[in-house]
Amino acid sequence: MKKALLTFVLFTIACIVITAQTDIISKYKKTSAMIPMRDGVKLYTVVLSPVDAKTPLPILMQRTPYGASIPIPDDTTIETKLLGNILATGGYIFIYQDIRGKYKSEGFMQIHEPLLHAVKKGAIDESTDTWDTVDWLIKNIPNNNGKAGIYGISYPGWLALVGSVDPHPALKASSEQACMGDLFLGDDFHHNGAFRLSYGMEYSYEVEFDKTTDSDFPFPQYDLFDWYLKLGSLKNINSKYFQNKIPTWNSFVKHPAYDNYWQTNSPLNYVSSPQIPQLHVGGYYDQEDINGPQLMYNHMEKKDTFNRNFIVLGPWNHGQWGGGKADSLGKISFESKTGIWFRELQKKWFDYWLKGIGDGKFTEANCFQTGSNQWKSYNTWPPKEATIKKLYAGANHTASFSKPLTSNRYETYISDPAKPVPYRTLPIEATYGEGSRWRSWQVEDQRFVYTRPDVVSFTMDSLTADLTVTGKIKAHLFASTSGTDADWIVKLIDVYPAIYEQSLSMSGYQLPVAMEVFRGRFQKSFSNPQPLVSGKPAEFIIDLHDINHTFKKGHHLMIQIQSTWFPLIDRNPQKFIPNIFEANESDYIKATQKIYYATEYPTYIELPVMN
């Protein structure tokens, strides 16, 4: 949800961006206004208007909790090339607005509150605030053509999604990008019920500690791995630091299961169909909101009777497509400027819906294929042509497409909450702190944990031909624990050849194609957690999300499994506690984990393989 990913414009005001395209609009003028909402609350709004437009132009808006102010006086004129935005060259009236309760806007804000206006008469929410803003803009901004669009990345992406629910008649198109989806099942604060500790703590403090700015938690050290470990039980957050003053953290503590609070707060509850054209945009390596665009596209597609629901998935981290070339991430090259490709598509999208330029024939799904490094187009997403193949864990740490034929086989390891597996190499910097590698950790070489005794791996023989996997992959993990609760982290990894001639430094690289965690207590129900039966094998079905990846000839497929992922995920006590946020230090115990690869308990990953 981070602010650094908000802008296609704001952070480039002070930078000259050279483009090959001749500007049609040469200058913009900045003004601002306090726009009144229906309840009297006023929202601070920045307007960038073309000063030399020859025809009326559409309005294109972003709403944000991260600060909409542009640090120049009102009535200042800005050259278009300073905006660094391909959309600006063709001419739009750009709007940036602080949502209620943040920065210069009036009112109160709490993270990601649900839409209520449809079920509660007179309720105010982000949908009604968007409606009121569009209405005021259409009536008060000179030289607009009566059409508006909304877009944004991360939290502004969610605002674009909910702003398109029961939209103002003038709102004609939306693009939610890196939008958070369900915050208990798969984005930001929890994944499959497992709490995302470092991000959840740092982000809730950042947004809610001070309404007038973003706040960095005052950590006393740079490497936070030991700090989080010494923190101990989660109940120490409030007793030692927050003192119950961070509303969203208090909600975490009060709602440790998928109860009515989380269900009501889920976009699955209050967004049903695309009421205006919607372009969902997401990244395979989004470290914050990997699930939202995939989840909401598929949810809304079920009711897309007018063919106005579309998706773009790329090889990106959180919002990487918003600026720059996006031709690589970490050590992984994509061999093309995927960010520029996307921004040209985005321009075509808004130019058509808001200006009537083009034929409007947009591909249902544009999904970059990693490995082969090509853009692919599909009529449905996921594509229906894929055939499911099962990659099984096997004896002697092997993997294959053949089901195990032997009974009572398993690998064993000890999971110790006092010695958790780090989710990336140390140091663990503050999420948005100086030098943080948070943005690229999801493509980090997994060899740093490969030899740990509490991590097990199953590797396939080298491929004799390319293997393309496109669509949703699911892990079927058969496991048991000597405790009564457990976390399971499953990774699908592309292992490079031992000698990789294209780049020797990448030889043996373990590239995680997909990774996910599952908190064992939710095996039967996310709403009604139950203790696991100690020593009893059970099946855990884990959604590893949508991918589009070609495993190249000579590479290996690997399944990797562990039970801690720290401090990304809080430490599971491994003894069932009704509310882990209230666990005592004595509740944390070692546990013996067994990963089965037996004929009666076959651990495998479903792979949708393209023929």
Give the model's pLDDT for residue 466.
Answer: 98
Give the model's pLDDT for residue 2.
Answer: 57
Q: Among residues 187, 157, 199, which one has the least CA distance to residue 291?
A: 187
The answer on 157 and 285 residing in a single domain is: yes
In a domain, 216, yes or no: no
- Mark which of 349, 378, 407 sits at the end of a domain: 378
For the chain, which residues score pLDDT lower than 50?
Answer: 3-23
In a domain, 208, yes or no: no
Answer whether 73's CB lies under 8 Å from 137's CB: no
- Mark which of 378, 409, 433 sits at the end of a domain: 378
Give the model's pLDDT for residue 374.
Answer: 98
What pTM was computed for the model?
0.94
Q: Which two tokens stand for residue 207?
A: 């947004």
In a domain, 162, yes or no: yes
In a domain, 253, yes or no: no
Answer whether 607's CB lies under 8 Å from 469's CB: yes
Q: What is the pLDDT of residues 302-317, one digit of tens each?
A: 999 999 999 999 999 9
Q: Where residue 549 sits, what CATH number does that domain have?
A: 2.60.120.260
SS3 content of the chain, % helix, strand, coil (to 5): 25, 30, 45
The answer on 307 and 168 residing in a single domain is: yes
Q: What is the pLDDT of residues 399-431, one digit of tens each?
A: 999 999 999 999 999 999 999 999 999 999 999
DSSP string, 1-26: --GGGT-SSGGGTTS----SSPPSS-
Angle at 400 between CA 394 and CA 402, to 5 degrees: 90
Q: How many domains does the chain have?
A: 2
In a domain, 256, yes or no: no
Q: Where residue 111 sits, what CATH number does that domain have?
A: 3.40.50.1820
The answer on 528 and 572 residing in a single domain is: yes
Which domain does 501 fall in, by range? 387-609
- Mark which of 357, 378, 399 sits at the end of a domain: 378
SS3 assignment, position 260: helix
Q: Which amino acid appears at position 610 of this protein?
A: M
The answer on 458 and 400 residing in a single domain is: yes
Angle at 357 between CA 353 and CA 362, to 5 degrees: 60
Give the model's pLDDT for residue 81.
Answer: 84
Report the number of secondary-structure helices (H) and strands (E) in the chain.
Answer: 12, 27
Q: Which amino acid appears at position 345 of this protein?
A: L
Q: Among residues 26, 13, 177, 172, which one has the least CA distance to residue 91?
A: 26
How many Cα neighbours within 13 Å face the side chain of 516? 30
The answer on 176 and 301 residing in a single domain is: yes
Q: List all residues 6 or more positions away from 361 whose beta carbon is below 8 Å from its beta carbon.
A: none
Q: Which amino acid appears at position 368 of this protein?
A: F
Q: What are phi and psi of 521, to 5 degrees?
A: -60, -20
Give residue for tokens 């391909």: 86
Cα dist from 572 to 94, 200, 291, 578, 589, whole Å: 46, 16, 23, 12, 9
Q: Among residues 322, 371, 330, 301, which one has the least CA distance to residue 153?
A: 322
In a domain, 199, yes or no: no
The answer on 124 and 95 residing in a single domain is: yes
Q: What is the pLDDT of residues 220-241, one digit of tens each?
A: 999 999 999 999 999 999 999 9
The answer on 534 and 428 residing in a single domain is: yes
